[in-house]
Amino acid sequence: MMYWWRRSLAAQFISFILMTLIVSQALSFFISHDERERALYVASKSEFYTRMASITKLMASIPVELRHEALLASETRYSRFWITDQEPADADRWREQAADELMRPLANFVGFPQHTDLDISSAITLETRDSFVRANAGEVWMTPSSTTWNLPQIAKFSYINGKNGFGLAVRLDDGRWLNSAYYKGFSNSWNWETLYPLSIAAIFLSVIGIVSARRIARPLKRLATSAEAIGRGENVPPLPEEGTDDIRHTTAAFNRMQARLFRFVEDRTHMLAAISHDIRTPLTSLRLRAEFVTDPETQQRMLATIDEIQTMTEATMAFARGEATVEETRAIDLNALVGSLCDDLSDMGQPVSYIDGSKSTCRCRPDSLRRAIRNTIENAVQYGGEAKVYLQNNQTIDIVIEDKGPGIPDDMQEKVFTPFYRLETSRNRQTGGVGLGLAIARTIVRHHGGDIAFSYGNPGFKVTISLPHSA
């Protein structure tokens, strides 16, 4: 349950709606319960007296031999009528007899078949009889007021089962006593009649909650998907600005942010490319001037320095051109891409081996990612003597490159990603490049939503390129 609560906006929205509905219904129930029960109690007692008065008049107007059948016809599930020859003086004993009468099923409806769809079960059961009788033990008969009993016949009243039922004994004109017991049992305001409208309201509000939550969650999901794509360097189209004002304003702000971000990256890349291009002219001028230097040793140092600057400039231009190139993002088999790259390097005579793995699909810009992996492998071959490459599928797709070299000191592992930084300080092209390989590799990998990490092997050194799984 907590999983769906944390994961689903619709679940939270529906839970709050249903909680509000239940709390409001509970408050309404507690406020109206006492008044409702009091009104029902008064109505039941008044109906009891009215019915008893009518039956008393009926007994006086019909022959004695028809009285028993008339009483049976007047009974309901909650009321019983019977006639006794003697006055019921002992109230406790009368209540025991009332309990027995109320346990009697209504199988003797006059004029009705024995098999009927009417509810003719008794008001109390054998299991509840003892508690029913003990509830009013020791209470004596009461004389009803003239407002509730306005007939001339003498009547005696008693409560049964606490005050949940009523009993009345009336003396008829011939000296016999008409007895009546009414008991409906404990009332329960929470019944199916109450739950039906509550259930319908809950279902209706849940449907409204699901629709509303989806209307809110759908643009949020689009925002999350687009933000993830932008984080991987993809050029996504602007999102549709639709929905409520809040959602439209959020989407519009996201579209503006995306446009500014790409404009900033584009301007920076163009400026870097322009600087790298414009610097060629003074380098050419310096090379011409160096030709007129008469000291051979000085001339050689100047030309070496100019070559180094030109090499760095060309590497920077190549990097800028690569950044400026808009490559389409698509799903590829990363296992096939890395395998073909390692085969190409091996064919060129480099000590590179690849351990073939299972298919691993990744959304990327293949040419750009291939360049990052190649730079890392060539760096391992240059400083580690060889490179063994394989893939691992964990929470991310990991491209692992192992070598036999001494590795990179811990305090230098972040510095090697700085452009033009080299661990080999001679600046000799024969012992290393210009220091852009790992910087370019990490920039490309991070544009794909991944990263590069170092660790020590046993022996050797290990470089791990981590990429996210395709969504």
Q: CATH number, domain at 460?
A: 3.30.565.10
C-alpha–C-alpha distance, residues 56 and 10, integer Å: 64
pLDDT for position 152: 92
Residue 79 φ/ψ, nearest 5 degrees: -135, 145
Q: Which residues, including other chains, have CB under 8 Å from residue 50's CB and lie 6 or more apart?
A: none
Mean pLDDT value across residues 408-429: 73
Separate counts of helices (H) and strands (E) for the chain: 12, 11
Mean pLDDT value across residues 77-88: 92
| 247 and 229 co-located in one domain | yes
The 8 Å CB, 24+ separation contacts for 419-427 are 420/312, 423/383, 427/308
| Distance from the first to the final alpha carbon of the chain | 25
pLDDT for position 35: 76
Asked, for residue 200, whether it belongs to a domain, the answer is yes
**Phi-psi region at 335: left, alpha or beta (left = phi > 0; alpha = psi -120 to 50):** alpha
CA 356 to chain centre: 40
What is the domain range of residue 346?
328-467
Asked, for residue 412, whether it belongs to a domain, the answer is yes
User: Is residue 168 very low, low, confident or very high in pLDDT (cuts 50, 70, 90)?
Assistant: very high
| 136 and 200 co-located in one domain | no
pLDDT for position 118: 44
- For 364-411, the pLDDT digits (tens) are 888 888 989 999 999 899 888 899 999 998 888 999 999 988 888 888
Average pLDDT taken over every residue of the chain: 81
| 112 and 36 co-located in one domain | yes
The percentage of the chain sitting over the pLDDT mark of 90, rounded to a whole number, equals 25
pLDDT for position 362: 87
- For 206-253, the pLDDT digits (tens) are 788 778 777 777 888 888 888 877 776 677 788 888 877 888 888 889
The beta strand positions in 306-445, using DSSP E, are: 330-333, 352-355, 361-364, 387-393, 397-403
Mean pLDDT value across residues 420-443: 67
| 219 and 246 co-located in one domain | yes
**67 and 81 in contact (C-beta within 8 Å)?**
no
| 153 and 6 co-located in one domain | yes
Asked, for residue 101, whether it belongs to a domain, the answer is yes
State how many domains the chain has: 3
pLDDT for position 415: 85
C-alpha–C-alpha distance, residues 276 and 318, integer Å: 9
Token pair recorded at residue 370: 């291939």
Asked, for residue 164, whether it belongs to a domain, the answer is yes
CB atoms inside a 10 Å sphere around CB 447: 20
Asked, for residue 222, whether it belongs to a domain, the answer is yes
Mean pLDDT value across residues 258-284: 77
CB atoms inside a 10 Å sphere around CB 194: 13
pLDDT for position 157: 96
Which residue among 273, 291, 307 closes a domain?
A: 273
pLDDT for position 83: 94
CB atoms inside a 10 Å sphere around CB 384: 22
Q: State the residue for tokens 């030309």.
A: 303
| 254 and 389 co-located in one domain | no
Asked, for residue 281, whether it belongs to a domain, the answer is no
| 70 and 203 co-located in one domain | no
Q: Which of 20-24, 208-212, 319-323, 391-395 has the lowest mean pLDDT?
A: 319-323
Asked, for residue 292, whether it belongs to a domain, the answer is no
Q: State the residue for tokens 């080999």.
A: 424
With a cut of 60, say whether residue 323 has pLDDT above it. Answer: no
- What strands lie across the sheet with 79-84, from one edge to the other? 79-84, 177-183, 165-171, 155-160
